[in-house]
A and B are shown apart, each in its own frame.
Chain A
Amino acid sequence: MSGVLELTAAAAVEQIAAGSLSAGELFDAYRARAAADRDAAESGLNCFTWVADETPAPAASMDAPVAGVPLAVKDLFCTEGVPSQSGSRILEGYLPPYTATVVRRLQEAGAGLLAKTNQDEFAMGSSNENSAYGAVRNPWDRERVPGGSSGGSAAAVAAGLAPWALGTDTGGSIRQPAALCGIVGMKPTYGSVSRYGMIAFASSLDQAGPLTRDVRDAALLLRHMVGRDECDATSLHFPGEITLPSAVRLDGVRLGVPEELTGEGIEAGVLDAFRAALAQAEALGAHVSEVRLPHAPHALSAYYVIAPAEASSNLARFDGVRYGLRAASSSKAEDPSDLLDMYTRTRHDGFGAEVKRRIMLGTYALSSGYYDAYYGRAQRVRTKISDDFRSAFDQVDLIVTPTAPTVAFKLGEKTSDPLAMYLNDFCTVPMSLAGIPAISIPCGLSQGLPVGLQIAGPAFSENRVLDAAHALERSLGFDGASARV
């Protein structure tokens, strides 16, 4: 039985198609594991906020491209009739009347909804400690965080509780937890995957993407996610299609290493693993050189203006009127439950500390007298960052950096210092601001914990990024088995 749980999704698809594996049995096996984690309380990883209580009817056609492979989905994707709470108290028990486009597409491709995964509230966080439904633990070391905000998805895939999972990435929320959990995570080009039905954090940055055990699975999942959606005006027609990578060499591939993202602030052990991986890439035929991204050090500042500004507006709809929490009337007799009271206390009670902080930050950055100094400037920095990447890609094919500055840190270690927490996104935020695709693959261990390597390319270069990641992954031979339950 445990054998089937060792299969990659791609391998499971093949066996199901060949008739040597039953989709129902595979789903049941995962469902049992996921339910056990859900029920384990303190001793579990707390990956899930909901687990399917029955095996879905088999896909209409067993020819569907990923027929029978269970899928774990980050909580913030709306799933009709299934709790979709975005890690927030304000949406506790919320049952959407519709399903996110990308989830529906994957269901049509044959994937069954296995579970909803825990996350930082409204995707704001880098440790998954901001979830109203409890912190998620890192399967490599349960005293440590899995990263965030897609921490539940990353931990579930790393622990073998799901074959693959959907996450979302706004400033690193797929790549950083993938790195900290020793799995593959990819943020595609902005606009390539529909955002319809994704509970928004920062609209101009949010992108859905896969979290998987290997690069091939990431390509397989992404292949069925991309495409224009008439319900999302910012979604684009993906040129060509995502192909399953097969490259084993990197001959002639020019890899650029930006000094701005590979120096100060990156932990020594992480840099060591990163440099070793670069040496491996050269051994595979890649040409490694330095490139400059002069404005990258300012990316974090721009990001922490733009994302909270958009979030402050996106989260205004949580007002206690149409869904979600409404605070009970005030007990103060002289202050009847008027509209203002209902709004302010609903939002006080429903949002967690980090979400409130970012709503405040974003509201301030957009407010009269401050817009130009903050939001306006941040948008101009964003332009410079995109320009930096454009120039860099004139010289190299792909850019490589460590994914996160550190390995997984201890639970509680950074919760009291928001700024220290924000620095987790140092290497991932520039690509988010530029809207370009980037993948994180495990490239080694430091202190016994996984280190992630990020590979980024120009807009819509997903196939090139996946090919390089595939070649490097094979050559590095990272073994994540020890994290599996």
Chain B
Amino acid sequence: MIDRDQVLHVARLARLALAEDEVEPMARELSAVLDHVAKIRELDLDGVAPTSHVVEVTGALRPDEPRPCLPREVALAQAPAVSDDGFLVPSPQA
């Protein structure tokens, strides 16, 4: 139902590295779940509205009033790599 190429494509979208020996079991397990899930394709759902939220109200908005920010050292405290007061990452263009 879902093949090796699809698994690799989805893994790439999800930014998940898969070791060579993880690809085939992933394809098998996903296929098993998708086979089960595919039963909902048999239902007649014409004209049925989708439910995104069970809450039947509309969103409360927030007044445009400033709240205190985190001190920078707190914001950076849990980062794996920090430099010059910012979060250090490999350059996207590298």
Direct contact between A and B judged by beta carbons closer than 8 A: yes
- Chain A residues in contact with chain B, CB under 8 A? 94-95, 97, 190-191, 204, 230, 233-234, 236, 295, 298, 300-302, 304-305, 312, 316, 319-326, 336-345, 347-348, 351, 356-357, 359-361, 363-364, 367, 373-374, 376-384, 386, 418-419, 422, 433-435, 459
Shortest Cβ distance from residue A224 to the other chain B in the assembled complex, whole angstroms:
22
> How many A-B pairs fall under 8 Å by CB?
159
Q: Say whether, besides A204-B54, A377-B45, A435-B55, A361 and B33 are in contact (CB < 8 Å).
A: yes
Cα A326 to Cα B80 with chains together (Å): 6
**Minimum CB distance partner of A434 in chain B:** B54
Give 1 or 0 for each of B60-94: 1 = CB within 8 Å of chain A CB.
Answer: 10100000001000110111110000010111101
Asked if B55 contacts A191 (CB within 8 A), the reply is yes
Cα A316 to Cα B60 with chains together (Å): 26
Asked if A347 contacts B15 (CB within 8 A), the reply is yes
Chain B interface SS verdict (over half)? loop
Asked if B16 contacts A359 (CB within 8 A), the reply is yes
Chain A interface SS verdict (over half)? helix
Q: Say whether, besides A302-B40, A321-B87, A338-B94, A364 and B80 are in contact (CB < 8 Å).
A: no
**Minimum CB distance partner of A420 in chain B:** B32
Asked if B13 contacts A418 (CB within 8 A), the reply is no
Cα A386 to Cα B48 with chains together (Å): 12
Cα A345 to Cα B38 with chains together (Å): 31
**Minimum CB distance partner of B70 in chain A:** A97
Asked if A234 contacts B53 (CB within 8 A), the reply is yes
Q: Which of chain B's residues have a CB closer than 8 A to the CB of A336?
A: 94
Please pick, from B15, B50, B52, the residue contacting A340 in the complex, using a CB distance under 8 A: B15
Asked if B40 contacts A381 (CB within 8 A), the reply is yes
Cα A422 to Cα B37 with chains together (Å): 11
Asked if A344 contacts B15 (CB within 8 A), the reply is yes
Asked if A304 contacts B37 (CB within 8 A), the reply is yes
